[in-house]
Structure formats: C-alpha cells, structure tokens
Amino acid sequence: MKSQNRAWIMFAVLLFSWSTLPASPFKYFADMIRQWFGVVATHTMIALPWQPVLLYFSISVLLVVLLLAGRGRSRLYIAGICSLATLVHHLIHCIRTGRVYAVSPAIAIGLALALLFLIIRVKSPALWLSDAYVIALSVWLIRDGFLPPVLDRLGLAKSQPALFLELPSDPLIMQLDQVWHLPVVVWAALPLAMAVLPLIFWSKGRQKG
C-alpha cells in the first residue's frame, strides 16, 4: 500500500477510535508531546493568547520531521522510539502518583510490539505502528484545534457524534477567541492546516507497506 494511503487510513482509524483502549498508546503519545511543548510555550515571552499557536506550530513541525524520517532508514525505528518515550514518561507519572492506570498495559504492549517487529524484521506491521504514533499528532491537532469550535458553531457540540468523539472540554483553541476580533471558528483553520498539509505534502514518498 502507498504510504499516503496508509497515513490517511490511520488518520481515520485514530480519529474515530481515539478514546478506546487500542488507540490509547498513540493518544498518550500525542498528549505527552502536547504536555512537553506546553511547558516550553508557557516559559516563553509570548503572550497567553498566542501560546496555543506556538504549541500547534511545534506539534506540526514535529509531525513533518517524523514524516520525513519515514523516508529514510530510520522508518522502522520510529515506532520503537515513540513507544519507548511514551513508556518512560508514563512510568515516571505512575511512580509520582503511586498508581497503575488502565492505559498502562496498552502502553507496554505498544513498546513490546515495536520491539518484536524490529527483532523479527516484519516490515509492514512496523510501518503501520510507526504511522499510528506519527499520525496521532495530526489527529490531536484536529481534535483540539478544529472540531470543538466548528461543532460548537454548527450547534453540534452536544450531539451524538460529538459525544462519541469525546472531544476535550477545554481545548486550547478557545484562548484565541476574539483575538484580532476574529471568532474562534476562524482560528480553527490554523490547526486544521497544520494537521492536514503535512499529510498532503509529506506522507507520500515513504516506504510502501
């Protein structure tokens, strides 16, 4: 399968399964990246309304970097690196809170699968797993920056599709409401572009699988 087709299929799968247990390692990875970049954004001299823009831009840049990395020899290692970072971050969180969470086994399984695919040299599953971690960044941008204001403007914020997607209750995009006298639904185009354009331009040209 062409790499761009694989990317868009994974995008659709993650978008509609984001809050399920199978998707939890990839959701956790995206949330972890959001947390890291959020800390950086809050320690900059940028005014508060513009910090979400910096965070969205940083996540989009990382998305492009990982997509481009998928064109090189490191493509099979992306899943291992992402899953290892996720597991280490989660272990630190578990130690700090003194708890084990429902998502903990799924995160560990994600790392185990990545290592298994590397050891037995199974190309196609490794590529799909790598894409799941990478594309999770794009899905996060859509869920936090595009869908909440758009569904709210359409009067669908409390609809069954919105409830099914379990969108964030306090998305960062809302901080941009009325900045430059523009409604938040207009600003939603920014994270949409940051999520979609990298997939359009850089998801192709990677290894088929």
pLDDT grade for 73, boundaries at 50, 70 and 90: confident
pLDDT value of residue 138: 98
Amino acid at 61: V
Per-residue model confidence (pLDDT) at position 122: 62
Per-residue model confidence (pLDDT) at position 186: 96
Which pLDDT value is given to residue 145?
A: 96
Mean pLDDT of 57-78: 90
pLDDT, tens digit, for every residue of 77-110?
899 999 999 999 999 999 999 888 888 888 989 8
Q: Say if CB 149 and CB 174 are below 8 A apart.
A: yes
Structure tokens at 127: 């590529």
User: Residue 44's pLDDT band (boundaries 50, 70, 90)?
Assistant: confident
Looking up tokens 């399964």, which residue turns up?
17
Residue 103 φ then ψ, to 5°:
-80, -15
Burial group, residue 94, by CB count within 10 angstroms (0-12, 13-18, 19+): middle
Instruction: Average the pLDDT over 9-32 and give the result.
Output: 95
The identity of residue 143, as a single letter, is R
Given this model, what pLDDT does residue 41 score?
85
In the structure, what pLDDT confidence band is assigned to residue 189 with cuts at 50, 70 and 90?
Answer: very high
Question: What's the mean pLDDT in 13-41?
Answer: 94
DSSP string, 19-76: TSSTTHHHHHHHHHHHHHHHHHHHTSSS-GGGHHHHHHHHHHHHHHHHHHHTTSGGGG
Please state which of the ranges 46-50, 80-84, 205-209 shows the lowest mean pLDDT.
205-209
User: Residue 97: in which H helix or E strand, if any?
Assistant: helix 78-97
What is the residue extent of each domain of the chain? 3-202
- Identify the residue with better confidence: 118 or 67: 67
